[in-house]
Amino acid sequence: MDIFSIDVTQQEIVCIRQALEIVTINGKDAKFLAGLQIKLETELAQIEQMKQEEEVRKAQELQELIKYEQTKPSSKKNS
């Protein structure tokens, strides 16, 4: 079996996944489509995990920046 890669957005993956819910299938195609649904669900789960990890990383960086700014000596001279 040949495997190909295409660039699709998360929204496009969701659309394809939803379309698989309404497509009429023959019994012989059920296993194939079930496998395709699993692949899409797995991809969507990985996308969500990556987004959550990115949000956590951004929040940590922001907290580090805030902490640094709070501990940084003031550049203003005291009068």
Phi/psi zone of residue 15: left (φ > 0), alpha (ψ -120 to 50 degrees), beta? alpha
Q: Are 30 and 50 in contact (CB under 8 A)?
A: no
Query: Is residue 79 pLDDT above 60, yes or no?
Result: no
Given the structure tokens 């959550």, which residue do they identify? 52
**Tens digits of residue pLDDT in 42-74:** 999 999 999 999 999 999 999 999 999 998 877
Which amino acid belongs to residue 75?
A: S
CA 76, CA 74: separation in Å to the nearest integer? 5
pTM of the model: 0.71
Residue spans of the domains in the chain: they are: 10-71
Q: Nearest to residue 51, comparing CAs of 17, 9, 7, 20? A: 9
